[in-house]
Amino acid sequence: MPFTPFHLGPGLLGGVLFYRQLDPLTFVIASVIVDFRAALVLFGLLGGRLHGPLHTYLGATVLSVLLTAAIVLTARRIQLRDRIRFAPRSVRHVVGGAIAGSWLHVTLDSVLYTDIRPFAPLSVNPLLGAAGLELIYGGCLLAFVVGCAVALFQHHQITN
């Protein structure tokens, strides 16, 4: 998507709906971090295609491994340094959140953009055109609103 914040909606909604199966924070981060390289290209700091190797399922999987390592190591370091509990329930939850979030990003963008090859090195994109721009963008905005409402409800349930 040209504006990565659109990915926050599905990331937030997926994170709150599947919080028992995956780490919600990892899911949200993974759903937007795929555009890191695209942002560098967009702002002229890197050359090449806008939607490059991270916009493939293989690239997103490699990114998920790196994100998992970063989150697990950061959580452990914070725990040791500050002696507070800041850790996902398990590495399995972090891996699930990383893969689900990054693959969701690739899937949504693959439906809309002709320069994405989600199954690279194959050059096909069978997802292209499966839904229209308005449906995808509208769905992302709706997912954000519903995700916020569900997150507030869950927070209210936990604190009361």
CA distance 32 to 3: 10
Q: Which of 5-9, 10-14, 65-69, 147-151 has the least mean pLDDT?
A: 5-9
| pLDDT at residue 154, rounded to an integer | 85
CA distance 89 to 19: 10
CA distance 91 to 145: 29
All structural domains of the chain with their residue ranges:
4-159
CB 153 within 8 A of CB 89: no
CB 142 within 8 A of CB 6: no
Tell me the three state secondary structure of residue 130: coil
- Confidence band of 40 (pLDDT split at 50, 70, 90): very high
Q: Which of 50-59, 83-92, 95-104, 116-125 has the least mean pLDDT?
A: 83-92
CA distance 8 to 86: 22
Amino acid, res. 13:
L
Tell me the three state secondary structure of residue 48: coil
Q: Which of 49-58, 79-88, 126-135, 140-149 has the least mean pLDDT?
A: 79-88
Predicted confidence (pLDDT) at residue 83 exceeds the cutoff of 60: no
Predicted confidence (pLDDT) at residue 120 exceeds the cutoff of 90: yes
**Nearest Cα to Cα of residue 38 among 28, 27, 49, 29:** 49
| pLDDT at residue 41, rounded to an integer | 92
CA distance 89 to 71: 12
